[in-house]
Amino acid sequence: MIDFRSDTVTKPTATMRKAAYEAEVGDDVYKEDPSVNKLEEIAAEMLGKEGALFVTSGTQGNQIAALTHCKPGDEVIMEANAHVYVYEAGAFSALAGVQPRPIPGVRGAMDPFEVASAIRADDIHFPETSLICLENTHNKAGGAVIPIDNMKAIYEIANSNRIPVHLDGARLFNAAVASGKSVKDFASYADTVQFCLSKGLGAPVGSIIAGPSEFIQKARKWRKRLGGGLRQSGMIAAPGLVALQNNVDRLVEDHDNAKILANGLGNINGITIVNEVETNIVIVDVSGTGYNAEQFVEELRKKEILVGGYSSETVRFVTHYDVNVTQVKQAIEKIDNLIN
């Protein structure tokens, strides 16, 4: 199978498995797991933040951020196709009790002027705007890199209104590698950051949230409340550290493969590439092939290619380290044979 469904499908490398096996561990609820402590220190340093916390998933990281920054009844500004709005099962409302304020963006980027206009005035009738969420890269915008200047402009507006900014950086390392900027550059325009170890970086489990020490201290309690105090979690933090140390620079291969895939698929009659491919996601409109998205996914499965249905007419391909360039080319050829 050539599996393009997501960059979450990668299997841990031999080095990661060895790191898990050999990990020095302790009880992380007592802050006594050396492997977790090391991962958190290195992650905080990479992001230029005072502290970091190892959490079970990107969703848990984003939810802990909302729970820590906000109180029930508050409003959170986010892009209308943000992962936290579309794909986290309404958790902001269900868990933090906050109301989302979606702002439609262009390729995932909100207009700073619209963000400023959406901030609530101090009025007894209104919810309080207590958080602005950004996402980089933007998943639903096809892995688009949100320009750093856009983040800066929104961060300045947030600062002048004393509203914290949380960055859902599930794929922040993809944004950094694609733009030639560092994750620290991007993180400098957010108070708190979540990034996933288990997407393009290839670790089996886990995410990091990073921010000021005081925030991390409160977040640690929320993590405990949510059942995320994982005891000897060095077993899963150790592969996460390997991911950070070994798998960042190679993301460029995934981006190159996504471009090769987009070029190849774009040359097939009836297929249109929907997004400008900047990182590792390719969204393809298949309506000209005679198949709808569901049928297309099924036909590809028969040819041992797995892709994700995205809408009734579009499907999504994601490149990652378990798909190499030869497999990308094989996939293009098989799809060409299917359509023509």
Ligand X SMILES: Cc1ncc(COP(=O)(O)O)c(C=O)c1O
Nearer to ligand X, 134 or 284 (CB): 134
Residue 68-97 contact track with ligand X, rule CB under 6 A, x = bound: ---------------x--------------
Identify residues 273-312 at the interface with ligand X (CB under 6 A). Answer: none
Q: How far is the CB of 333 from ligand X (least distance, A)?
A: 29
Q: How far is the CB of 194 from ligand X (least distance, A)?
A: 7
Pairing type for strands 308-309 and 314-318 reads antiparallel
Q: How far is the CB of 56 from ligand X (least distance, A)?
A: 8
Pairing type for strands 305-306 and 192-196 reads unpaired
Nearer to ligand X, 112 or 200 (CB): 200
Nearer to ligand X, 9 or 118 (CB): 9
**What stretch of H or E contains 22?**
helix 14-22
Helix axes 234-246, 34-47, angle to 10 degrees: 40
Nearer to ligand X, 58 or 240 (CB): 58
Residue at shortest CB range from ligand X: 58
Q: How far is the CB of 135 from ligand X (least distance, A)?
A: 5
Nearer to ligand X, 144 or 332 (CB): 144
Identify residues 98-157 at the interface with ligand X (CB under 6 A). Answer: 135, 139
Q: How far is the CB of 62 from ligand X (least distance, A)?
A: 6
Q: Sheet of 308-309: strands edge to edge?
A: 272-273, 281-285, 314-318, 308-309
Distance CA 154, CA 207 (A): 24
Q: How far is the CB of 125 from ligand X (least distance, A)?
A: 32
**Residue type for 142, please?**
G
Dihedral sign (CA 100, 104, 107, 113): negative
Rg (CA), the chain: 20
**What stretch of H or E contains 261?**
helix 251-266
Residue 30-59 contact track with ligand X, rule CB under 6 A, x = bound: ---------------------------xxx
- Under the criterion CB under 6 A, does residue 196 sit at the interface with ligand X? yes
Residue 202-221 contact track with ligand X, rule CB under 6 A, x = bound: -----x--------------
**What stretch of H or E contains 42?**
helix 34-47
Long-range contacts of 241-246 (CB under 8 A, 24+ apart): 241/19, 241/35, 241/38, 241/39, 241/42, 242/13, 242/15, 242/16, 242/19, 242/203, 243/16, 243/197, 243/201, 243/202, 243/203, 244/39, 244/42, 244/43, 244/46, 244/197, 244/201, 246/13, 246/15
- Under the criterion CB under 6 A, does residue 170 sit at the interface with ligand X? yes
Nearer to ligand X, 192 or 207 (CB): 207
**Of the candidates 1, 7, 5, which has an alpha carbon nearest to the alpha carbon of residue 202?**
7
Nearer to ligand X, 47 or 268 (CB): 47
Distance CA 185, CA 153 (A): 14
Please say whether the beta carbons of 197 and 206 come within 8 A: yes
Q: How far is the CB of 60 from ligand X (least distance, A)?
A: 7
Q: How far is the CB of 81 from ligand X (least distance, A)?
A: 10
Nearer to ligand X, 254 or 289 (CB): 254
Point out which residues bind ligand X (CB under 6 A): 57-59, 62, 83, 135, 139, 168, 170, 196, 198, 207
